[in-house]
Structure 1
Amino acid sequence: MASPTHCTPPGKFGGTLVHFARDAYGSIEVVDAFGVRTLHFGTLARQSSMCLQEPDRVELPYVRAMLSALLLHPEPSDVLLLGLGGGSLAKALFQHLPACRIDAVEQRRVVVEAAHRFFGLPEHPRLSVTVGDAGEFVKEAGAAGRLASYDLILTDLFDGEGMAPPVGEEPFYVDCAGALRKDGVFGINLWGTQTAACSRVLETMRTSFDGPTFRLAVPGRGNVIGFALGSEPERATARAMEQRARRLEAGLGIEFSRFLRALQQSNRALFG
């Protein structure tokens, strides 16, 4: 009898490949390395990360920074996520806001399947995932008369090459502004290293939303988070904002106080 053969899982991006799939948009890989599970779209860039020992912890700094939208609207009832990835944003909001309804739009079915199977994205009536184009989703929402439906719209649209096409299109922001409630917050993840594209997006946001627009550079990373408000807000006192940041920090384990200081420096007129 021949001795048994043990197959070694293939290596990928410095770790162990635990899942591979391909669709019309390219490949996706799920890789485990040093206790962290990551999602890739055919390149080394991490689209999502999850600590295997603490799967509910928000692992990537840029995702934690995007959740700074809660400093501006701490109790949203309706959230739209454009781009799902491994579902880090969806999971954090689902767990922290038990009364919140979350709609997510993801272009690739294989990404949705990976999020549920490998990253612990829950299946629940409060969390609806649509497989489709994010730009078309917000456009159709407006055409159907469902304007001003969301308190938060958080956008993380990337492919294997960088920021996805809708990110550079002005009508996309106009449609998002139409889907945002008056006191709502729009946030988007950008690559700050793409300086010209990042500047164009922020300028487009300024002309598309009725409220102020500002940026949050993610400390130690190339990401820049752009935020826009649905209307001119009431000026918040520094003390009130600091108290809000501490409450959120205690609930989610995210460095909101640090993000608040960065936001205050970039928009002193908003945070008095």
Structure 2
Amino acid sequence: MSDRLEYNRHPRPLVDKSLNSKTMHFSICDVQSRMQIDRPNNLMLAYTRLMMGFLLFAPNPRHIAMVGLGGGSLAKFCYWYLPDSRIQVIEINPYVIALRDEFEVPRDDHRFHVRKEDAADYVRTAQYRYDVIVADGFDANGVPASLCSRSFYDNCFDMLEPNGVLVANLHSHHEHFPVYLERIKESFAGRVVTVNDFDYGNTIAFAFKETPTPPLLANLQRCASTLAPEAWAQLAPSFSMIKRFGRWHSQGMP
């Protein structure tokens, strides 16, 4: 397929700039990513801080797969604050990838790589196993159907290490939200925790290949002692929110 045809298949994101931030979006109504110009590795959007809650269940991930690059907020945060992790980002939209310098996304190196591919194909055929899969793939119409299907979640389950966790960003107000959440629960045998970002209508789902151990409090304390102070300052309120308000969908979980 020619480069022109490939670009024509995908929407072109818009970038708005202010004195303090840059914002990526596909429409005026939906913010895809936001970056603080003087602190480009900070997580400005609340849902991204909630998604980092995977550290409460996998505090030392060796391999992280990210579905969707966007403005690279989660990718940058993990790259800078999880120095022992290798990060594979899967992004299908060439326009989004072309903006990686605009949003100060790191260059590819021995532990970070952005791969242009359909994530549904990647999770079906990947030869690697991951400790964490971060599913935050959106286009102009929301989550593509291929990234919220039962087969996609089944493949994510298969791609995880035994103690692995999938963290998925869902729109709480989408008409098919209950269907998508039920698919995750079915793929992961009900081992799912959800927490809501009430300000923006996101629900973050954490799904586990096995029942997570040790207890949540132990990993909360571990994150507080091992993360860089500037990273922990951003995540601590969200992690406390997960501990307090997270809804456990399977009995026997901590």
TM-score strictly above 0.5 = yes
Instruction: Tell me which interval the TM-score lies in, with the shorter structure as reference length.
Output: 0.7 to 0.9
Indicate the RMSD between aligned Cα atoms, in angstroms: 2.1
Shift of 1:211: 6.5
User: Offset of 1:245 from its aligned partner?
Assistant: 4.7
Match of 1:198 in 2: 177
**What TM-score, normalized by structure 2, do the two folds share?**
0.87
TM-score, normalised with respect to structure 1: 0.82
What's the secondary structure of 1:53's corresponding residue? coil
Q: CA deviation at 1:23?
A: 3.7
Could you tell me which residue of structure 2 aligns to residue 270 of structure 1? 253
- Counterparts in 2 of 1:202 and 1:33: CA distance versus 1, 3 Å: same
Matching residue's letter, 2:172:
G
1:264: Cα distance to partner? 4.2
Instruction: Indicate the residue corresponding to 1:120 in structure 2.
Output: 104
**What residue identity is the alignment partner of 2:253?**
L
Unaligned runs of 5+ in 1: 1-21
AA partner of residue 221 (structure 2): Q
Question: How far apart, in 2, do the equivalents of 1:228 and 1:237 lie?
Answer: 14
Q: Which has the larger radius of gyration?
A: 1
Match of 2:224 in 1: 246
CA displacement, residues 119-147 of structure 1 (integer Å, 9 cap, x when unaligned): 11111221111111110111111xxxx26
1:60 match: 45
Instruction: Indicate whether 1:234 and 2:217 are aligned.
Output: no
Per-residue deviation, residues 3-30 of structure 1 (Å, max 9, x unmatched): xxxxxxxxxxxxxxxxxxx742222211
Separation in 2 of the partners of 1:181 and 1:133? Answer: 22
For residues 62-91 of structure 1, what are the alpha-carbon distances to aligned partners after superposition, in whole Å with 9 as ceiling and x for unaligned? 111111111111110000001111111111
Post-superposition offset of 1:209: 1.7
User: Which position in structure 1 is the counterpart of 2:31?
Assistant: 46
Aligned to 1:99: 84
1:97 partner amino acid: L
Structure that is richer in strand per residue: 1
Partner of residue 147, structure 2: 167
Contact persistence 1:68–1:256 (CA under 8 A): no
Tell me how far apart the structure 1 counterparts of residues 30 and 140 of structure 2 sit (CA, whole Å): 8
Distance 2:13 2:237 in 1: 35
Identity over the aligned pairs, expressed in percent? 29
Corresponding position of 1:19? none
Could you tell me how far 1:174 is from its partner in structure 2? 0.4
Task: Report the more deviating stretch, 250-259 or 25-34.
Answer: 250-259
Deviation per residue, 1:144-198 (Å, 9 max, x gap): xx26x1000000111112222223311000001000011011011111111x422
The whole-number CA distance in structure 2 between the counterparts of 1:101 and 1:262 is: 25
Per-residue CA deviations over 1:221-247 (Å, capped at 9, x if unaligned) read 211111101112235163x24413533
Q: Which letter maps to 1:192?
A: S
- How far does residue 100 in structure 1 lie from its aligned partner after superposition? 1.1
Note the 1:212-227 alignment, pairs <5 A: 212-227=191-206
The amino acid that maps onto 1:153 is I
Q: 1:179 aligns with which of 153, 159, 171?
A: 159
Question: Residues 257 and 126 from structure 1, CA distance in 2 versus in 1: closer, same or farther, beyond 3 angstroms?
Answer: same
Greater RCO structure (CA 8 Å; 6+ sep): 2
Which residue of 1 is the match for residue 137 of structure 2? 157
- Letter of the 1:93 partner, please give it: C
Verify the 8 A CA contact 2:211 2:253 in the aligned structure 1. Answer: no
Deviating beyond 4 angstroms after TM superposition, the runs of 4 or more aligned structure 1 residues are: none
Q: Is 1:76–2:61 an aligned residue pair? A: yes
